[in-house]
Amino acid sequence: VVVEHDPQVMMNADRIIDMGPGSGEQGGSIVFDGTPAQILEAESLTGLYLKGRLRVDTSLSRVPEEAFRSWLTVKGAREHNLKNIDVSFPLGAISVVTGVSGSGKSTLVGDILVPALERSLGKAVACGDFDEIIGRSRISEVMFVDQSAVGKTTRSNPVSYVDAFGPIRTLFAGVPLARDRGYKPGDFSFNSGAGRCPTCQGAGFERVEMQFLSDVFLRCPDCDGTRYRAEIREVTINLDGRREVSVADVLEMTVDQACQYFRAEREIVRRLKPLQDVGLGYVKLGQPVSTLSGGEAQR
Ligand SMILES: [Zn+2]
């Protein structure tokens, strides 16, 4: 059994099981089950793309070669098997480095290009052997996205990953009831502090060890899975004039709902926006990162 998006692998399978119809809450059903020949006639999204009745439109955003104005050039790259090569990457464009396994792609990008740029931005990192990198003054930030896990703990979730929870907690600490009671932003954290449920330590569930079976997670009976003490949940905000919302309610919002709800709070929206941009608008703010799919975690 192979989990795979690659059309070549799919079309060479003996049987295809297609899941969907959408992502997250909109997924979870089998939308097609049959042979590769049959899926070409199916109405599932996968079938429509395989047959070519739907296609990814790449024409709009492609940068023509003559429009490349500035470049990033690595000179004398010679880490591992690299043969003292010079490579230029156009800026403001998408470049692909390809080649057979073991040919030096990861060494060039992961061991030289990325750490060399990080170094020039003041980060102390180990870097492979090369002479110089030209054009780096045009780079203000480096982001290396690979397939490694993004903290596979039940404590990490989308809202904390993009640092949007800080300004949200500050918002709660600022309402009159919170100020009367002397609450600080830290009291609205579920990872530490006095505001989290003492029974489950803010996890929302309790781990029950089963002697011969894998552990079972049970909804915490004291906070009913909300992660917080009842007093903390009494503190509410009302940004849309319709509903009083507690910090526990915020963690239940999807990214799309939160962007709408906090639309007047620019800093919060600015931090949540990247999640929306990569198509994760349907993910809940408080959903543990450990429950995201491999592709979702990577994005
Ligand atoms: Zn609890």
Cα of 245 from ligand 1 centre, angstroms: 19
Question: Per-residue pLDDT averaged across 34-44, rounded?
Answer: 93
Cα of 221 from ligand 1 centre, angstroms: 6
The alpha carbons of the chain give a radius of gyration, in whole angstroms, of 24
| Per-residue pLDDT, 152 | 53
| Per-residue pLDDT, 147 | 66
Cα of 90 from ligand 1 centre, angstroms: 52
Question: Per-residue pLDDT averaged across 44-61, rounded?
Answer: 82
CB 299 within 8 A of CB 279: yes
Residues above pLDDT 90, as percent of the chain: 59
Nearest alpha carbon to residue 284 among 253, 258, 249, 247: 253
| Per-residue pLDDT, 252 | 94
Cα of 289 from ligand 1 centre, angstroms: 19
Please report the DSSP string for the chain in residue order.
------HHHHHT-S-EEEEESSSGGG--EEEEEE-HHHHTTS-SHHHHHHHTSS----TTTPPPGGG---EEEEEEE-STT--SEEEEEETTS------STTSSHHIIIIIIIHHHHHHHTT--------SEEESGGG--------SS-S--STT--HHHHTT-HHHHHHHHHTSHHHHHTT--GGGG-SSSSSSB-TTTTTSSEEEE--SSS--EEEE-TTTTTS-B-HHHHT-EE-SSSS--EEHHHHHHSBHHHHHHHTTT-HHHHHHHHHHHHTT-TTSBTT--GGGS-HHHHH-
Indicate whether this complex's ipTM tops 0.90: yes
Residue 255 has pLDDT above 80, yes or no: yes
Cα of 199 from ligand 1 centre, angstroms: 5
Cα of 190 from ligand 1 centre, angstroms: 10
| Per-residue pLDDT, 150 | 63
Cα of 78 from ligand 1 centre, angstroms: 55
Cα of 299 from ligand 1 centre, angstroms: 30
Domains and CATH numbers, the chain: 7-51 (no CATH), 65-138 (no CATH), 158-298 (1.20.1580.10)
Cα of 19 from ligand 1 centre, angstroms: 34
Question: Per-residue pLDDT averaged across 53-58, rounded?
Answer: 78
Cα of 272 from ligand 1 centre, angstroms: 26
